[in-house]
Each structure stands twice: as structure tokens, then as C-alpha cells.
Amino acid sequence: MHHFSLANPSASLSAKARYKVPFGTVSVTPQARQLINQALDSNWLTRGKLVQEFEEKFAALFNVGHAIAVSSGTDADALSCAVLYDHGVQRGDEVIVPALSFVATGNAILQAGLTPVFVDIQRETLNINPSMIEAAVTLRTRAIMPVHLMGKPAPMDEIQAIAQKHKLIVIEDAAEAHGAQYKDKKIGTMGAMAAFSLYAAHIVTTIEGGIVITDNAKMAEALRSLRNHGIVGKFEFRRIGFSAKMHELEAAVGLGNIEIFHQILAKRRRNLLYLIDQFKKFQEFFITIQEQPYEKIGPHAFSIIVREKAPFTKDEFVAYLDQAGVDSRNLFYSIPTQCPSYAFLGKKLGDFPEAEYCSGYGTHIGIHQDLELKELDYVVEVTENFLKTKGIKP
């Protein structure tokens, strides 16, 4: 297994030594190494039989008809949006998305030539507030892209009801939600398409990469065309496409991960549920991700949000974690109001108060498969010690 630091790539080699509880890990299995060597020996490294096999096995995980491998989770979102042009969408038409997400969600919509329309989230769930979606629907709205942030399922019943009422297409941004379930349905199987990231932090990884799943054969055909410059057949270009192909070495790593998918998922879920339980004693000071009886969270990471009345700041807590060797990341940003690249939208701080709060007061830490209970107990101990420095006895 290989630990890594996502915040500072130049420091990645020393991340394992610096952090007692690193944020992420990469599982490169013996099978993956063997497949990599086979690909190198064959001298065929661009998209070939390993990518095809990876697509077939990923589709089988979700019991769907098609999986289309691409070069990143961002491309998975962007190509899914670009498919909409085959369904009457015009450039500049709107896609509704939550304000709180990794910036790639908004970027992908813009890269597809469409317009992101942001809706605030719910602090307790981190996901789009379903009661605010309908007010964002206009005559140019064509799709809703819910994000299952931290692997917690978005409120799909309400989202699908609104989509059906207004004849909108639902694209699931399931980047972090591998293995999540909502009311006995697998996340990724409820929208017309679902986009997954296969980046190093995720349960199934190809180091860099993404994949879209769908049961719609025409959408799958369009996705395969779009990832290769819009090509159809040998050399006919029917769409404005992308260069977004996965190569054989990435697929080899992904195939190794699929072989141990259920082991990784079980280990991460154990870690997530353990921390949820252990942090109950801190609930006066922190909001943490919670799992409801009707769902299973896809265990990506453990989110911690400092409550408004806590006698300390998020920055103080994060600094203490870091000093103690617990690696963490900010809980993303309100894309339209906390990312300067979106200033052109004309939004201002205060327009998305819940998303902005989660960013200003939230962090998240790893729960990956290389962490044992002793590391999680250490996180709990560090948190207790931090509170003691503030005169608090948990």
C-alpha cells in the first residue's frame, strides 16, 4: 500500500513518515502489478483490452449495462453534461448543482458549455437542500447534478420527483460515493448517468481517472464518442468532443482494486462507523457525518464541522491535528462565493450561508483501508487532548 498527501504533491514521499494518520492510501495489488508488466511487455499502452475489461467489471459492480472509462472524475462529469446535447440541450443551458463541492463539479459543467446554477446545502448532510431546488428551475434548466458528498447519498427521492415534474435529466456526481446505497438502491443507478472519480483517494482507483455508468445505450454510445474528440467510426467527427481516454496502466491498477473492492469497502465502512460512534461524545462541539437507517454511506472520508458556539475555531483544531500527525483537508468551498474563479457569476458571501459555513468551519480526515482501529483511537485521543487545552473535559 502507498500512503500519499493530496495537499502538497511535492511532500508526498514524506507523508507516511510525517503523519501517523495519513489522509489517503493507494492499493496496488499483485494482480495489478502483473497486468502492468503484461501491458508493458505487449507494447500496447493506450486504451485497449485492459480498459475494456475494467469497464465491464465496473459495470458489473453496479449491475448496469455500460461503463465508459475516462481520464478523470472531472471529465466524467463534463462528458455526462456534453451528452445532453444529443437530447435537445443548447449551449448555455442550465444544470442545477449544490454550492458545496469540489470545484471540479462546477468546472465540468462550464467545460461542457453549460451554465451551473448553484443551490445551497444542508449543514447536517452536506448535500443539496431539496426544498430549495425548485426555486432554481428556469426555462433553461435541463438537468440536476446532485453530488453525494463524502459518499453520503443525496436526497434522491425528492430530486427525482422534481426532475420528473420539470422533465429534467438527473446526472449523479458519485465521485466519492463508491459503494453507497439509498433505500436499497446503489448510488450511481438512479440517474440517467452517474460519474465516478477514480482518483487516488477513492475506493476504486486508477491513480488518475474517472468512469461514467448508465443503462442508456444511446448515452453510452455518445460518451464513447465524446471521450475521443467526438469521433464515430474510423474518422468521422459528429460531436464537439474531448480528449479524455484512460490508458492500459491505469486500467490495470483499477482491475486490481475491483478484485478487492468488497474488502476495501468493508474496512472503510468499519472505520467510518467506528468514528461516528466515537465522536458522539464530542457532539456538543462538532457536527459529524451521520448515517440514517435508510442509507449506507460510501466511506470516502470523515467530515467534522465545528459548531457555532464552540469555544475554539476550525483553524485551531486543524492546527492541533496536524501537529499531532493527523492529516486533514478543508471541507471544500462554496464554489460560487468562496472560489475567486467564479466571481464572474456575481454572487456574494452570504448567498449560500450553509455551504459557506461548512467550508469555514469544516474539515475531513481519512478512513481508508490502511487505517486500523488503533489509528482511529489515536484520532479520538488527539481530539480529547485538544478539547482539554480549551478547558473542556469530554
pLDDT value at position 234? 86
Q: Would you state the cell numbers that stand for residue 187, as one nine-digit string?
A: 448510488
Alpha-carbon distance values, 55 to 74, 77, 213, 226, 372 (Å)? 18, 17, 9, 16, 31
Q: Check whether 5 has a pLDDT greater than 50.
A: no
CA distance 127 to 141: 20
Per the prediction, the chain carries an average pLDDT of: 94
Asked if 251 and 267 sit in the same domain, the reply is no
Asked if 222 and 347 sit in the same domain, the reply is no
What totals of helices (H) and strands (E) does the chain contain, helices first? 13, 20
At 122, the pLDDT band (50, 70, 90 cuts) reads very high
At 11, the pLDDT band (50, 70, 90 cuts) reads very low
Asked if 291 and 197 sit in the same domain, the reply is no
At 46, the pLDDT band (50, 70, 90 cuts) reads confident
Asked if 227 and 95 sit in the same domain, the reply is yes
Q: Would you state the cell numbers that stand for residue 303, as one nine-digit string?
A: 467530515
CA distance 212 to 336: 25
pLDDT value at position 394? 76
Q: Across residues 5-28, what is the average pLDDT? A: 65
At 43, the pLDDT band (50, 70, 90 cuts) reads confident
Asked if 314 and 273 sit in the same domain, the reply is yes
Asked if 280 and 203 sit in the same domain, the reply is no
Rg of the chain over Cα atoms, rounded to whole angstroms, equals 21
Asked if 244 and 121 sit in the same domain, the reply is yes
Question: Strand pairing partners for 286?
Answer: 306
Asked if 45 and 76 sit in the same domain, the reply is yes
Please state at what angle helix 261-278 crosses helix 248-259, rounded to 10 degrees: 60
Residue 14 located in a structural domain: no
pLDDT value at position 8? 44
Whether the CB-CB separation of 146 and 128 falls below 8 Å is answered with yes
Task: Compute φ and ψ for 383, nearest 5 degrees.
Answer: -65, -45
Asked if 269 and 288 sit in the same domain, the reply is yes
pLDDT value at position 17? 60
Full residue range of the structural domain in which residue 137 is found: 30-259
Domain boundary among 202, 224, 259: 259
Q: Check whether 6 has a pLDDT greater than 70.
A: no
Residue 192 located in a structural domain: yes
Domain count for the chain: 2
Q: Which residue has the higher pLDDT, 143 or 43?
A: 143
Percent of residues, the chain, with pLDDT higher than 70 = 96
Residues belonging to the chain: 394
pTM exceeding the 0.95 threshold for the entire prediction? no
Domain boundary among 233, 259, 285: 259
294 by Cβ neighbours in 10 Å (0-12 / 13-18 / 19+) ranks as: exposed
Asked if 47 and 128 sit in the same domain, the reply is yes
CATH of residue 340 = 3.90.1150.10
Condensed to tens digits (0 to 9), the pLDDT of residues 331-369 reads 999 999 999 999 999 999 999 999 999 999 999 999 999
Q: Check whether 35 has a pLDDT greater than 90.
A: no
Asked if 106 and 229 sit in the same domain, the reply is yes
* Cα 124–chain centre separation: 18
CATH of residue 240 = 3.40.640.10
Domain boundary among 200, 225, 259: 259
Nearest 5°: CA angle at 333, between 328 and 339? 125
Whether the CB-CB separation of 268 and 201 falls below 8 Å is answered with no
Residue 15 located in a structural domain: no
Q: Across residues 296-315, what is the average pLDDT? A: 97
Q: Across residues 268-292, what is the average pLDDT? A: 98
Question: 3-state class of 192 per DSSP?
Answer: coil
Torsion, Cα 77 83 84 90, to 10 degrees, reads 100
In the chain, alpha helices (H): 15-18, 30-42, 49-62, 73-83, 104-111, 156-166, 217-226, 248-259, 261-278, 314-323, 335-338, 353-361, 373-389
Q: Check whether 9 has a pLDDT greater than 60.
A: no
Asked if 178 and 311 sit in the same domain, the reply is no
Q: Check whether 45 has a pLDDT greater than 80.
A: no
